[in-house]
Amino acid sequence: MLIVMKMDADAKQVEAVVEVVEERGLKAHPIAGAQRTAIGITGNIGIVEPALFQDMPGVLEVIQVSHPYKLVSREFHQEDSVFEVAGVKIGGTDLVIMAGPCSVESYEQTLEIAKIIKANGAHILRGGAFKPRTSPYSFQGLGREGLEILARVRQEVGLPVITEALDIDVLDEVAEFTDIVQIGARNMQNFTLLKRAGRCGRPVLLKRGMSATVTELLLAAEYVMDQGNEQVVLCERGIRTFADHTRNTLDVAAIPAVHRISHLPIIADPSHAAGYRDKVVPLSLAALAGGSDGLLVEVHDHPDRALSDGGQALLPAGFKELMDEIRGLAPVLNRRLPEYATS
């Protein structure tokens, strides 16, 4: 932290600030400039409250120098984090493609879509069993039955699965059935859920809240990591803006912003960002060009009959087109689209 004194601050006022700093067991380093004095503070383990100094006589500004996060930060872990989920690499050079329906609707539907995405090179099957819906009258997901369907399809098709844990009541059950636990945008700051996810024994995919800053996203990930879970993948899924040509606005810049600060992998969800099928492929490619480590994308073979998010689901042909495009783009970006031996 740096405390900048006003130009007319006198020696007594500087001394008073130094005293408050030292009373807290910290070190004060007054730096006399040509026009004003600034006081650097070192030795702080946690956050020093700016409010302690803000209203002291002679203080102009209190600047937070170090970041409030630790474990997610590149300062603590310089290399990109790479981890494996059921043989699938997340992070590093390899791109990871997670695809599937918004909701698990039936065994037949999930199996059919899983086969389609696998045939086109996807690595992980997505599908919600517990759905966060804006309206209580919308389809809420099949719940436990959905988890059981996912587990069956996982077995039959040989793809690891990701599904959302909507609250702490279902978290353990979800962790038991899935390879990756998804924390949805609406739950990004559900701190109780984040802590529990940090202890669930599974990798966690953490979606950015629709009005969360990158710092807030990283602090949410810090909650999960602080519980001992190092396998966190972030997901940019679009934020609320005034734009009405898409459901949300994919904040592509958040991807390099996260990479600069954090070692954690970050993927993009072009489906919830776009809200409309026709924009999903262009947004996917934009995200990958921006450094995204992969995609989480909705696919449905009968989107007109889908119980949620049909309008943004890629048709099988659209998903094939996307994968073909990624195969062409990956080498240009020095990335690899791995093809794992099928089981």
Q: Which residues bind Mn ion (CB under 5 A)?
A: 102, 309
Cβ closer to Mn ion: 101 or 198? 101
To the nearest whole angstrom, how small is the minimum distance from the Cβ of residue 29 to ligand PEP? 44
Burial class (CB in 10 A: 0-12, 13-18, 19+), 134: exposed
Q: Which whole-number Å values give the CA distances from 215 to 67, 186, 189, 230, 276, in the listed order?
A: 9, 16, 12, 18, 28
Sequence-ordered list of residues with C-beta below 8 angstroms from that of 63, at least 6 positions apart, any chain: 1, 2, 3, 4
Q: Which whole-number Å values give the CA distances from 77 to 234, 236, 240, 261, 264, in the listed order?
A: 16, 21, 31, 10, 9
Answer for which of 123, 207, 259, 277 binds ligand PEP (CB under 6 A) is 207
Give buried/exposed letters for 152-164 (b at 16+ CB in 10 A, else e).
ebbeebbbbbbbb
Answer for which of 58, 128, 265, 270 binds ligand PEP (CB under 6 A) is 128
Residue 102 is a binding residue for ligand PEP (CB under 6 A): yes
Report the C-alpha gap between 24 and 3 in whole angstroms.
15
Overall residue count recorded for the chain in this entry: 343
To the nearest whole angstrom, how small is the minimum distance from the Cβ of residue 298 to ligand PEP? 7
Residue 313 is a binding residue for ligand PEP (CB under 6 A): no
Cβ closer to ligand PEP: 1 or 212? 212
To the nearest whole angstrom, how small is the minimum distance from the Cβ of residue 315 to ligand PEP? 18
Picked from Mn ion, ligand PEP, none, the partner binding residue 67 (CB below 5 to 8 A depending on kind) is none
Picked from Mn ion, ligand PEP, none, the partner binding residue 237 (CB below 5 to 8 A depending on kind) is ligand PEP
Element (H, E) at 71: none
Tell me the β-bridge partners of 100. 298
Residue 297 is a binding residue for ligand PEP (CB under 6 A): no
Return the residue nearest ligand PEP (CB atom). 184
- Spatial contact of 225 and 71, defined as CB atoms under 8 Å apart: yes
Residue 121 is a binding residue for ligand PEP (CB under 6 A): no
- Spatial contact of 309 and 271, defined as CB atoms under 8 Å apart: yes
Per-residue binder mask for ligand PEP (CB under 6 A), 26-65, x = binder: ----------------------------------------
Residue 259 is a binding residue for ligand PEP (CB under 6 A): no
Picked from Mn ion, ligand PEP, none, the partner binding residue 184 (CB below 5 to 8 A depending on kind) is ligand PEP
Answer for which of 272, 277, 279, 300 binds ligand PEP (CB under 6 A) is 272
In 23-176, the DSSP E strands lie at: 27-32, 37-42, 59-63, 83-85, 88-90, 96-100, 124-126, 161-164
Q: Which stretch binds ligand PEP (CB under 6 A): 148-156, 166-174, 180-188, 218-226?
A: 180-188
Picked from ligand PEP, Mn ion, none, the partner binding residue 50 (CB below 5 to 8 A depending on kind) is none
To the nearest whole angstrom, how small is the minimum distance from the Cβ of residue 238 to ligand PEP? 8
**Cα four-point dihedral sign 163, 164, 167, 171:** positive
Picked from Mn ion, ligand PEP, none, the partner binding residue 30 (CB below 5 to 8 A depending on kind) is none
Report the C-alpha gap between 282 and 300 in whole angstroms.
18
Write the single-letter amino acid at 102.
C
Picked from ligand PEP, Mn ion, none, the partner binding residue 335 (CB below 5 to 8 A depending on kind) is none
Answer for which of 132, 282, 316, 318 binds ligand PEP (CB under 6 A) is 132
- Spatial contact of 268 and 240, defined as CB atoms under 8 Å apart: no
Q: Which stretch binds ligand PEP (CB under 6 A): 76-84, 112-120, 179-187, 328-336?
A: 179-187
What is the gyration radius of the CA atoms in the chain, in angstroms?
23
Q: What does the binding site for ligand PEP look like in residue numbers (CB under 6 A)?
A: 102, 128, 132, 184-186, 207, 237, 269, 272
